A and B are shown apart, each in its own frame.
Chain A
Amino acid sequence: MKLKPSVLDLDFQEVETKIRRFIKDYVEKSKANGVVLGLSGGIDSSTVAALSALAIGGDKVLGLLLPEKETYNKKDVGHAKLVAKKFSFKTKIIDITPTLQAFYKSIPNFDLKDNVCKGNIKARTRMIYIYYFANRHNLLVCGSSDKSETMMGYFTKWGDVAADISPIMDLYKTQVRKLAQHIGIPKEILAKPPSPALWPGQLAETELGIKYDVLDLILYGLEHFMETKDIAQQLNIEKELVDRIKDRWLSMEHKRRMLLTTKLEYRTVGADFRLPRSYY
């Protein structure tokens, strides 16, 4: 197999149709009133919100903007509102700063300089708000995680990844960009460098240490059982880099498969209870 950008090409009209059908089908069968999702103003959540609105109608989609003081970015809020306007779905903005501060204050010896701990609290706090609205209004939580960050474990366990359905989780970031373009996500959102925005100045590609264009081809190669030496050779990059990506992908499986216990009995939750996710 030749690893070149075109391997990530898809028929994005078909992808759009399939994702819209998936969202509509799941919402209908679960008898939910619609979906709720966190809206950051970034490409992933904008795309999922737009697809949800296209699938079930904007009146059944609630985008929650959950900014906080440290990372507040007027542009991002503007972008989220722009998508909401274009795809006619509902939004609500809630400043989560007081909640975060309550956490920081109530946790003994909380280190305010620990970006990772603080960032994860932010992601998990957002999850609580989103699930509140889901419970309150009988909505499903629609996740916005893509395949690149999911494979890399680049998310907060029980935080941003927490959802009932994750419509774009089988698309790499570069594919999400193309899908976003296809469905008409505004250009300024497409052009923004991806960021989880858990602390000021955080950029995904800097933190991952690799550009998504290259990362996605490496992940695509790993997905297709290619050896790291062949991936490195084809992409003309160091094998060590590919090995590092592979190690990270494998070591993050614990974040993707969340229920683990030790086998003690006949059938075990998360292991060999093999049940359909739902009967719908």
Chain B
Amino acid sequence: MENKIKLALAQISCKRGDKTANLKKMESLVNKAKKQGANLVVFPELSLTGYVVRDQIYELAEAIPGPSVKAMENIAKKTKLYIIFGMPEVSEKTKATLYNTAVLIGPEGFIGKYRKMYLPTHSIFEEKRYFRAGYHEAAFETKNGKIGLIICYDIFFPEVSRLTRLKGAQLIVCISASPAVRRTFFEVLTLARAIENTAFLAYVNLVGIEDGLQFWGGSRLVGPNGKVLAQAKYDEEDLVICDVDYADIKPVETFVPTLRDLRPELFDELKKHAESL
């Protein structure tokens, strides 16, 4: 495993409902990122389709692996890069049970996926109408470190990131489609999740306007000490290449040993009280 990697925060806008156009855009950015020395390229939540596709999601969703994942596998093989992107996934066992999924692909092909556990269904969000919530956290061993995957609203629930960290994730990747009115929350929570887990956190958000929703971008890499190491532009497409040095985790972990100090017995209390809320 490499101790140092170059990460590309690929902050894009999507052409809604047009997987071919979005795959093409992602391919071009992967190529661009490669030229700039990146090892891992991260795209936003539902970057294959755009976020506001509503009922069209049933037509757009694919099984994993499926044609779009295969197309991304080819891009990863060709460029020898690792890629994370978001897509609507249809369960192989059903025709219309969908998940909001993050996919991790490498030069060796499909590595793993994460199905979003917390589906916002409030305000302008209607994810539970379309998606089934995932049940499992995801952290995958790669040549670029152990990578944990979370999606957008998951970041409001520290247990999701924590679970990836407890499985060994050193880099937590949060792909997102967050509209501008929520920027403050994410700018705080990205720091919090990195600090409390003493891990790197890469946040990659959508940009562009979909049905009046303005996605604010602001993708960033946060170090294990909560320092913002790289920051993409607000509101515009951007590609930011940044360095992750996993050696930086140890000094932080000794300085603020949040993992050493974990109190598992409190989780039982948490469970008890959460069930009776």
Q: Which residues of A contact B (CB under 8 A)?
A: 18, 21-22, 25-26, 267, 273-280
Contact = CB atoms under 8 A, between A and B. Distances in A.
Contacts of A275: 54-56
A276 B214 contact: no
Nearest to B211: A277
A276 B53 contact: yes
B235 A21 contact: yes
7 contacts: A21-B235, A22-B214, A267-B55, A273-B55, A274-B129, A276-B56, A279-B16
B55 A274 contact: yes
Nearest to A22: B209
Contacts of A25: 208-209
B237 to A, nearest CB: 13
Nearest to A273: B55
Contacts of B180: 18
Nearest to B17: A279
A22 B209 CA distance: 7
A18 B214 contact: yes
B141 interface: no
Interface in B108-137: 126, 129
Contacts of A26: 209
A275 B56 CA distance: 7
A25 B210 CA distance: 10
A21 B18 CA distance: 22
B252 interface: no
B235 A276 contact: no
B16 A276 contact: yes
B264 interface: no
B63 interface: no
A278 B210 CA distance: 9
Nearest to A24: B209
B96 interface: no
B5 interface: no
Contacts of B129: 274
B52 interface: yes
A266 to B, nearest CB: 12
A25 B215 CA distance: 13
Contacts of B214: 18, 21-22
B55 to A, nearest CB: 5
Contacts of A280: 16
B212 interface: yes
A276 B210 contact: yes
Interface in B170-210: 180, 208-210
A260 to B, nearest CB: 19
A275 B57 CA distance: 10
Given A276-B211, A277-B212, 15 more contacts: A21-B214, A21-B235, A25-B208, A25-B209, A26-B209, A267-B55, A274-B54, A275-B54, A276-B16, A276-B53, A276-B54, A277-B211, A279-B16, A279-B17, A279-B18
B184 to A, nearest CB: 12
A22 B55 contact: no
Contacts of A267: 55
Contacts of B52: 276
Nearest to B129: A274
A280 B208 CA distance: 10
Nearest to A280: B16
Contacts of A277: 211-212
Contacts of A273: 55
B17 A276 contact: yes
A166 B54 CA distance: 22
Contacts of A278: 211
Nearest to B130: A274
A273 B56 CA distance: 10
Contacts of B17: 276, 279
A127 to B, nearest CB: 22
Interface in B129-177: 129
Interface string B1-20: 00000000000000111100
Nearest to A277: B211
A22 B212 contact: yes
A147 to B, nearest CB: 14
Contacts of A276: 16-17, 52-54, 56, 210-211
A123 B17 CA distance: 37
A200 B266 CA distance: 70
